[in-house]
Amino acid sequence: MLRLETIICTFSVLSVAARADFKARNCSEVRDACLERGFAFAHVPHQEIPGEDLRVCTYEHTCCTQEMEDRFGQQSKLDFENLLDETSHTLRSTFVSRHKRFDEFFLELLENTERSLNEMFVRTYGKPYMQNAEVFENLFAELKRYYTGGNVNLEEMLNDFWSRLLERMFTLLNSQYVITEDYLECISKYTDELKPFGDVPKKLKAQVTRAFIAARTFVQGLSVGREVAQRVSKVNSTPACIRGLTKMLYCPFCRGLPGVKPCKNYCLNVMKGCLANQADLDPEWNQYIATVTDAMLLVAQRLEGPFNIESVMDPIDVKISEAIMNMQDNSAQVSFRVFQGCGQPKLAEISRSARGTSDVFNARFRPYNPEEPPTTAAGTSLDRLVVDIKEKLKLSKKFWSSLPEAMCVEDRVTAGNASDDDCWNGHTKGRYFPEVQKDGLTNQMNNPEVGVDITRPDTFIRQQIMALRVMTNKLRNAYNGNDISFQDSSDEGSGSGSGSGCTEGCTTDMYSAATETPVVRADRSGPMEDSAPHHAPSIALPTMLALLALTLHRQWR
């Protein structure tokens, strides 16, 4: 009996002690912290309650109800998405702004070149030019359409331009004859044989083709980087990730420790688990960035070096004028050969033939040499622009693998390295002992904080990896002036010529995820309205761009 009384007494003492300890841990700090964070819970315990109903913050006693834990889970997901969005903002804005600046610069360069040509040809050739100005307008319209992603075959388009110009010139130089459409069609068959414009068409074709391939490929490269960064920054968190985030960010509330922040290494393991697939993007991303920046470095060297290509190349209007002069100088021989092959055309009425050759392109064009590269209205010259892009993009290397470190910022998310014993370790306030995992999906097999299925890579991330791989290949090939999109399509029997349209190589068509800025697609029925180009091709990016600047820029002054 005495023994029984002793046991009962002991139990009563322990119960009183337990109750006393239980009452000592109130939840007033948790209530205040929840109000400060904007949580509007129906009920927040005044003191700890049994925690058997909780699924994530599973402690014997807790300051959380099941409603609070569920809400904390939702908030953890939002906090993570917002943190990722904010951390990647600089990267995304870099691609958006540099893409926009280069695109605007190039389009303005092209527009100024066309305006300069028009003004000079009106002044130099007068009425004959104005009567045939649509030939030149179509040339620039097609160049712009190619650059903005249109389905334009550059080689065929340029050949067509010279054929149209030959027809107009031949008609003007032989105004005493009636030149019919059928006769003009016959003339076009002798273009290659007669070479009425000398070697200008061949040279200009090489220069313009390589330059525009480079420009379009480069701006597409920036567009792809922009799209990938925007897409990958919008993650779909797995249940295991949300559980790990909730335990790290809000389970301290349930333990009555709302002011205690996670340990740095604890945060890193959670983030490495949640961003395991993003880290796998890094190798391809780094290769892509290296290709873009290397290409831009070569452009800058071309523009700044002793063999500045701009100083040795004539602009488009000079080249075309030279071709016109060649045609005029050799008009008698050209006409004789055409008459031999196509027959003598019928003489026109005297009123027409009386005009003779007074309306022919008979003035001589005198080019000028600007001392400095062209500058846009915004004051950005091409050499400064490419150097700026190169420097900004190099900063984004290793971005995805360093993302966990960037997100576990001291004082913002974690307690920092200086307080190893005064941080939340997932269970209580104290040191976090587990080892920090390495980057990437396969290294998360033993992640202690987030369960990751390493046998199931994220399909969406793999698509972005492929998009970067395709674009990197295009950039490399643009260096040699090759149009990869054309090569791919011709291999499949779908067309010929450079710039054959947006095919399977087009990132936006392959992957239809939404982006923050519109993506250009080829419009087979007319000019493009958007400015982000869509497919392209090769390896001479830098040289090409410089070449382009050279071909176009002198018109700006």
pLDDT of residue 203: 85
pLDDT tens digit sequence for 271-302:
999 999 999 999 999 999 988 877 665 544 44
Return the SS3 of 206.
helix
Report yes or no on 453 lying in a domain: no
In the chain, the amino acid numbered 76 is S
Q: Is 457 exposed, middle or buried (0-12, 13-18, 19+ CB in 10 A)?
A: middle
**Which of 131, 411, 105, 104 is CA-nearest to residue 267?**
411
**Residue 64 included in any domain:** no
Report whether 170 contacts 190 (CB < 8 A): no
Q: Is residue 400 part of a domain?
A: yes
Mean of pLDDT values over 74-99: 94
386-401 mean pLDDT: 87
Lowest mean pLDDT among 53-62, 131-140, 277-286, 471-480: 471-480
- pLDDT for the residue numbered 297: 56
pLDDT at 420: 76
Tell me if 195 is assigned to some domain. Answer: yes
Which among 512, 549, 509 is positioned nearest to 533, based on CA atoms? 509
pLDDT digit string, tens, across residues 145-201: 999 989 999 899 999 999 899 989 888 888 888 988 888 888 888 778 888 888 888
pLDDT above 60 for 235: yes
Structure tokens belonging to residue 511: 């992957």
- In the three-class reduction of DSSP (H, G, I as helix; E, B as strand; rest coil), residue 424 is classed as strand
- Which residues, at least 6 apart from 338, have a Cβ–Cβ distance to it below 8 Å? 170, 186, 187, 190, 194
- Across 128-151, average pLDDT: 92
pLDDT for res 477: 78
The verdict on residue 332 lying in a domain is yes
The rounded distance, in Å, linking the Cα atoms of 376 and 388 is 15
Tokens of 401: 């693998």
More confident residue, 470 or 419: 470
In a domain, 92, yes or no: yes
Tell me if 329 is assigned to some domain.
yes
pLDDT score, position 465: 93
What is the total count of domains within the chain?
A: 1
In the block, residue with structure tokens 């420097």: 391
Tell me, rounded to whole angstroms, the distance of Cα 301 from its chain centroid: 23
Give me the domain span that covers residue 325: 83-235+259-348+381-437
Q: What's the pLDDT at 441?
A: 93
Residue 93: per-residue pLDDT: 94
Is 137 part of a structural domain of the chain? yes
pLDDT at 487: 42
Tokens of 433: 């002992």
Classify residue 544 by burial, with Cβ atoms within 10 Å: 0-12, 13-18, 19+: buried
Q: How many CB atoms lie within 10 A of CB 251?
A: 25
Question: Under 8 Å CB-to-CB from 288, ≥6 apart: which residues?
Answer: 221, 224, 225, 468, 471, 472, 475
Residue 361's pLDDT is: 56
